[in-house]
Structure 1
Amino acid sequence: ARTYLQKHLSMIADETKYAVRDAVTRRMLGNVDETFVLSLDDSGAEEDGTPRRFVMAGRTWEVVDADSEKVELLVAPVSEQGEAPVWAGELPPVPADIAREAGAIRIAVAESHGWSTGVEESASAEPRGSMVGLDPWLTGDAVTYEIDDYPLSSPSLALLAENVAEHIEASGCLPHARLLTLERRRDAIVLNSTHGSRINETLAHFLQAMASNIEGRVGRVLVDPYRITLQVPGLTPAGVVEWLTETPPEALDDLIRLSIPNGRQLRARMVQVCKVFGVLHAGVDPRKVNLGGIITRYRGTPLVDEALDKLFSERMDIEGTTDLLRAIQSGAVELRMTAPGALGISPRGQRDLLLPNWSATEVRERLKNRLVNERVVLVCLRCKDWMRFRVERYAEKHHRCACGGAMLACAREGLEDRLKEWVVDDDPAVRNRMQRNAELVQLRGKEAILCLLARGVGPDTATRILRRVPAGDEEMLLKTIHEAELQYARTRRFWG
């Protein structure tokens, strides 16, 4: 009974941790949890097929490989500047009341400077339906305060006022609890909604599910407590307005329950519930389990219902979102299309905490440091004698064996025993591979050794690399090796 209690009824979720390894330096960076891994496919991509990017150790990384046969994720540093990481984790949700009051603070800042905020227009609109039971923030009855009532420092107040002024100048109004604004940006549609994490998460999933019917693609959605960014092919602001103003609020629960099982958001909760119900054993890597099949098989049972309820209680607020739809359709909350403003993009504070991303030159330098510090073994094909040294110390004395032979096969030190076996193997394929290996070392020396020490680079790939790269062009050589390593990491699961 005690064992069953520990394995199935513990309040602490039984989650597996996965190591994260840098593909360039081969160093371990840290660990990620099950929720992160289950949101990826085997190639490490998002639902829309784009590579997952996230922050670890103060830098932005891109997932290269998430093979379920491995207990680690392989990542590469992102060298492009200005790319915001897609994965923000699951932080404690910001309650709706806090987010709504943040919107009220923006209004208070604007009013303290005498700026027009658009609140007057929203307040003068006559409701078209009943507002009974709605939150005071949605009906305009919530208690608000003057800006002097908040303990804001002068620098903070100045920064907030600057953002508010920029937004008003661009859009002519400020989003708040009773005003949602829609902005069409170059690559996305932004819905400014100061209604907190859980309501915005529910609203975002609803809009994404509806938008996926346009071209059959789910696209990408970024959610925070104050805005929803939708990047879905074919989506227009008019479509968002139509869904928010014409979808019956009472249908929201059914729509969410129908669409959630088709996405990745349910996976982590499904794994936790399956372990509690005994469908999955503790310690089983959930990536090796057909979770989609389990969801399909148990749809409509307490197993899936419990997973859905767990997701809804932790990340969504269907009741609060239903009230918001009621308020929009009754006229208590206005939905307005505006020009893009400063408040429609996430604050830069998160990005300011990051270290500068590595440039392409720095990435190649890190790769070079790894390769030149590898220990390599050369075995003579004539006398089978061998020599061992660090790549950085490769010199003219390593060009020939003591017997005078110039055909030296190369491998990293960890493969020394196997290399010695390969050079005496009678298999024609193995002997041919060793011959080509030695020919590359004879022709290109250290450059060939650097290629052959790279992950997933054998004589064939090394030959292609060296054909492309002129002798002496170290920068291009390292760039090509880096590309070959990433390609191998992405495709290694398909190799025999």
Structure 2
Amino acid sequence: MSEQRAASGSAAFTHLGSEVRAALSERGFQTPTAPQRAAIAPLAAGENALVIAPTGTGKTETAMLPVFDSIARSETPFGLSALYITPLRALNRDMRERLDWWGERLEIEIAVRHGDTSDYQRQKQANDPPDVLVTTPETVQAMLTGSKLREALSDIEFVVVDEVHELAASKRGAQMAIALERLVELAGDFQRIGLSATVGDPESVGAFLTGNRPCEICEVEAGSRLDLRVLTPEIEPGDEGLASELVTEPEMASHVRAIREVVEENESTLIFVNTRQTAEALGSRFNVLEANIGVHHGSLSKEARIEVEDAFKAGELDGLLCTSSMELGIDVGQVDHVVQYASPREVSRLLQRVGRAGHRSDQVSRGTVIATSPDDALEALAIVDRARRGDVEPAEIHTGSLDTLANQITGLVMGHGDISAREAYGIATHAAPFADLPEETFREVVRELSSNRILWLDEGADSLEKSGGTWQYVYANLSMIPDEATFEVRDVASGRGVGTLDERFVTTFAEPGATFIQRGEMWRIVEIDEEEEKVRVSPVENPTGEIPSWVGQEIPVPQAVAENVGELRRVAAPQFSGGASRESVAREFVSRYPTDLHTASEALEPVERHVEAGHPIPAENRLLIEFSGGTIVVNACFGHKVNETLGRLLSALLGQKTGSSVGLETDPYRIELTVPSGIAARDVVEVLEETDPEHVEALIELSLKNSDALKFRLAQVAAKFGALKSWQGSRGSISMDRLLGALEDTPMYEEAIREVFHEDLDVSGAARVLERIRSGDLSIERVGERTPLGIGGRSSSTELLSPENADASVIETVRERIKEDRVLLACLHCKEWDRTQKVERVSEKPECPNCGSTMVAALNPWAEEVVEAVRKGNKDAEEEKATRRAYTAASLVQGHGKQAVIALAARGVGPRNAAYIINNHRESEDDFYRDILEKEREYARTQAFWD
């Protein structure tokens, strides 16, 4: 931004007309916010602009005030003047609510249109377009094909794209980029305004938004407004009792307690986690504590999400536990503090999440990262440091996505009826992601669409025309988000539901014998039923030491962050070698980073043990290869994608050498290979030193040819080309191997490879690692045993729900807690007497004081409806079921007395489990309570399925 504009920022509102300024006064806007000071002047002057600022700093008003001003000043306002495009329907609703006041005050009509809009409203909008339409990228696709709506769109003067950074890094964004060029064909050039969170490459995001037209970058620095700390909670005396109450370990209880303390210190706190599973697990622990904290994630129903959003905004909830569902700008009111549970993995993610706090009056954004392991803590420190320096990852824009191109070529034909191939090529290549698309590649895509009868190609006339399949294809493919089936997971022994797995998991990984973790438990696949879309599993009885074959897809840690972690290790190691204590090294870290002595000390503990064992330290300038018992670990601080690429390269070349498969697992700091006999660490060194960096891409592509990951992506791409029809059924009706063979020399195969490279791998990063090895910039060391840092990825993280073994102190706490619990006793003989009392006060042989019967059921203290069901004459099916359970419970009490009452009083332990516990542990009281605890843990893990 120029100095002149900076100087005029304080007078930003003077660029707006009198009517809008009067409305601003009514609305209480006395002074412009930082993004308004930066952007209103260029926007009012009609320039394209990218406005970059933290969520909630008034970006929406920044973009829309000049738009409203222009519409309000227009002497002949007619038709659809502005589109406001958001990536989520929830943002549609939110934006509509925020903009309605302005519309009513300025007499500007604002409407919303998306997939759930009624036919009546759609028809009304087509016949009488609003001034401003709030919509999604997919709905814009549909609008570009309707004759009345195309006419309405021809009046467009402004397009505002909210959360443009989110779209820029997806195929949805590539699709929208061409859609905006299609809109130019209808309306001529219009002003483009993008609203974005902090990104590392604002110029490329601006080019994406405008199609390489001029774009003013109006950026508000986020790093200077951050107050962040990284914390590994210290186990306090009360955490052991809390661990028993929460059915977890003291370490995890300390995490829950620390989060609750932050929530209690603030009026409104967002608690971000990285996965839905963690959200559910943490949410269940807070429910046990009756904490006033809601849960929000994408698997919840729309109604449930709206309910907690509104409750949090109204101050009815003290905290909101959420995933990336809350990263985008859904308005939930004032946020005082943000907790990030576990490393956020990326600088941009941390800035976006913590940026939600303290923004209403340009306050400092305050946040706490709760670290869960030594790797996690060092990673969080590196990310916080980069955030404060404003060193943010670039947006990874999908360049030249061919299935997106196929989608948009068909949309162009649908909208025009017929169009020359050259004109379609020109429109597509005006969009930044396709600016460098070769014309021959474009023609190959067109020929593929023609052969699939999605459109007609007249090569002689260079003409593209609608075919019988065009309409059906367009409306089945408005979105670039692939449709995926969901497989139900069921325990073969009990028949109970365990959860769900998406089709990608089943296609790329699942096979009988493979193991995976779901809801804190490890399962082994027994059978896959593709017709019924079910995966049958059995629990891994003793998972101690067993490595799951698949533990879920993680948010990838960027190479730069992982290298920073290596640098932190490298700085600490020589101090330990020189005899420094861990406390003294930790103090130095505390002086440099926003953390405390305990957190720094815990993070450095494995580094200290590693150095004490005499091992070279793996860092950003050194690979450490360790070999023990058929396992080779390459300690490499290069992040998920580079390590995955190097791992695939090593696995393929070592497998080729021996003729045997090589197992592979990676994390941001390790590549773990399970190798056949005859392979040693020197073989790994040989591959790393002798592989030509220029051959990495070809070798990786060759290694992918038989991979399920490529086959699955190829099936998705082929569907977007119209080569697979949805009516062909589930994936079981299509041979993936035949598909790969048939499509290998097509644009579909090219796109599938491009997508795997873009999403999962970093070929150029891996090639640079090999170049550094050749130049001597990156050294390689070997050791013949496992090292503290080499096993750190496995041993240093802790599950929210604890493992099987419980120590004596936990057992004693369970015993004391159940004694204090209350139980409802009811006589099933006379059916007249019932009483609620503490378990401690129940007699050894309970009996009814009215009739003297020992047929007394022990029920949950809130189970009055069960007592009513027992006493009722004509019962429905549910009442019959409740009555049977009550009689089973009474039989247990009659036979085993107070021991049965204790077992039945435990959480989630019904009569069947109580009988098992009693019969299994008649002699050892500790084992009796240990088994109760295990059944409580099982219930805690699976209670969502029993509601």
- Between the aligned partners of 1:266 and 1:9, the Cα distance in structure 2 is 24
Q: Does 1:254 align with 2:723?
A: no
Aligned positions of 1:271-420 closer than 5 A: 271-282=715-726, 284-338=729-783, 339-345=785-791, 346-356=793-803
Partner of 2:563: 100
Please give the alpha-carbon distance, in whole angstroms, between the structure 2 residues aligned to 1:25 and 1:108.
53
TM-score, structure 2 as length reference: 0.33
- Give the gaps of 5 or more residues in structure 1: 46-50, 118-144, 359-473, 476-496
Q: Residues 101-148 of structure 1, C-alpha deviation per residue, up to 9 Å, x if partnerless?
A: 01111223334545499xxxxxxxxxxxxxxxxxxxxxxxxxxx9663
SS at match of 1:64: strand
Larger CA deviation: 315-324 vs 293-302: 293-302
Q: Is 1:10 the equivalent of 2:479? A: yes
Given candidates 489, 496, 502, the residue that maps to 1:27 is 496
Q: Secondary structure at the match of 1:221?
A: strand
Give me the whole-angstrom Cα distance separating, in 1, the residues matched to 2:577 and 2:651: 38
Please give the alpha-carbon distance, in whole angstroms, between the structure 2 residues aligned to 1:3 and 1:115: 72
Q: 1:352 to 1:186 in 2, by over 3 A?
A: farther
Describe the SS at the equivalent of 1:343.
Answer: coil
Rounded Cα–Cα distance in structure 2 between residues aligned with 1:31 and 1:238 = 42
Contact 2:628 2:786 in 1 (8 A): yes
TM-score using structure 1 length: 0.62
Letter in 2 for 1:348: S
Q: Would you say the 8 A contact 1:14–1:282 is kept in 2?
A: no
Provide closer, same or farther for how the CA distance between residues 355 and 85 of structure 1 changes in structure 2, counting only shifts above 3 A.
Answer: farther
Query: Is structure 2 residue 481 aligned with structure 1 residue 38?
Result: no
Partner amino acid, structure 2, of 1:87: W
CA contact (8 A) 2:630 2:676 kept: no
Asked whether the equivalents of residues 652 and 662 of structure 2 are also in contact (C-alpha less than 8 Å), the reply is no
Q: Is 1:68 matched up with 2:515? A: no
2:519 is matched with 57
Does the aligned pair in 2 maintain the 1:100–1:194 contact within 8 Å?
yes
**Counterpart in 2 of 1:168?**
611
Does the CA contact (< 8 Å) of 2:715 and 2:739 recur in 1? Answer: no
Could you tell me whether the CA contact under 8 Å between 1:110 and 1:161 is conserved in 2?
A: no
Whole-angstrom CA distance in 1 between matches of 2:800 and 2:578: 32
Distance in 2 between residues matched to 1:287 and 1:355, nearest whole Å: 38
Partner of 1:89: 552
Between the aligned partners of 1:7 and 1:295, the Cα distance in structure 2 is 24
How far did residue 54 of structure 1 move? 1.0
> Which of the numbers 182, 199, 214 marks the counterpart of 2:625?
182
Whole-Å separation in 1 of the counterparts to 2:623 and 2:563: 11
Alpha-carbon distance in structure 2 between the residues aligned to 1:162 and 1:181: 18
Map of 1:422 onto structure 2: none
2:485–2:502 contact (8 Å) kept in structure 1: yes
Which residue in the other structure is 1:389 paired with?
none
CA-CA distance at 1:330 after TM superposition: 1.0
**Distance in 2 of aligned mates of 1:218 and 1:116:** 44
- Cα distance 1:90–1:9, how it changes in 2: closer, same or farther (>3 A)? farther
* 8 Å Cα contact 2:507-2:708 kept in structure 1: yes
CA distance in 2, matches of 1:116, 1:187: 34
Cα shift readout 1:322-378 (whole Å, capped 9, x = no counterpart): 1110010111101111242111122434453344369xxxxxxxxxxxxxxxxxxxx
Counterpart in the other structure of 1:431: none
Matched-pair contact (CA < 8 Å) for 2:590–2:600: no
- The residue aligned with 1:154 is 597
Partner of 1:232: 675
Q: 2:715 aligned with 1:268, yes or no? A: no
Paired with 1:112 and 1:32, the residues of 2 have a C-alpha distance of 47
- In structure 1, what is the Cα distance between the partners aligned to 2:523 and 2:629? 25
1:444 matched to which residue of 2?
none
Give the number of equivalent residue pairs. Answer: 327
Provide the secondary structure at the position in 2 that maps to 1:20. strand
Q: Distance in 1 between matches of 2:803 and 2:725?
A: 43
8 A Cα contact 2:590 2:596, kept in partner? no
CA distance in 1, matches of 2:761, 2:734: 26
Q: Secondary structure at the match of 1:29?
A: strand
Aligned equivalents of 2:481, 2:732: Cα separation in 1: 20
Letter in 2 for 1:240: V
Taking a change above 3 Å as real, the CA distance of residues 115 and 83 of structure 1, as seen in their structure-2 partners, is farther
Structure 2 CA distance for aligned equivalents of residues 246 and 304 of structure 1: 29
Equivalence for 1:196: 639
Partner residue of 1:388?
none
What CA distance in whole angstroms lies between the structure 2 residues aligned with 1:254 and 1:107? 34
Tell me the CA shift for residue 289 of structure 1. Answer: 1.6
Residues 663 and 675 in structure 2, CA contact (< 8 A), matched pair in contact too: yes
Unaligned regions of 5+ residues in structure 2, if any? 1-413, 415-470, 581-587, 806-918, 921-947
Find the residue that maps to 1:266 and give its secondary structure: helix
Q: Residues of 2 paired with 1:347 and 1:84: CA distance?
A: 9
Q: For residue 610 of structure 2, give the secondary structure of its aligned residue in structure 1.
A: helix
Contact kept? 1:219, 1:232, Cα under 8 Å: yes
Cα distance, 1:109–1:293 mapped onto 2, change above 3 Å? same
CA separation of 1:239/1:228 partners in 2, compared to 1, >3 Å: closer, same or farther?
same
Name the CA distance, whole Å, in 2 between partners of 1:252 and 1:297.
25
Letter in 2 for 1:303: M
Does the Cα contact within 8 Å between 2:517 and 2:548 map onto a contact in 1?
yes
Match of 1:123 in 2: none
Between the aligned partners of 1:299 and 1:330, the Cα distance in structure 2 is 37
Going from structure 1 to structure 2, the CA distance change for 1:179 and 1:193 (only over 3 Å counts) comes to same
When Rg is computed on C-alpha atoms for both structures, the one with the higher figure is 2
Q: Residue 107 and residue 88 in structure 1: after superposition, are their counterparts in 2 closer, same or farther (change >3 A)?
A: same
Aligned sequence identity (%): 32
Deviation, 1:272, is 1.5
| 8 Å contact from structure 1 (residues 182, 335) kept in 2 | yes
Q: CA deviation at 1:82?
A: 2.8
Distance across 1 between alignment mates of 2:595 and 2:488: 41
Query: Which SS does the other structure have where 2:726 is aligned?
Result: coil
Decide whether aligned partners of structure 1 residues 207 and 78 sit closer, same or farther in structure 2, where only a CA change above 3 A counts: same
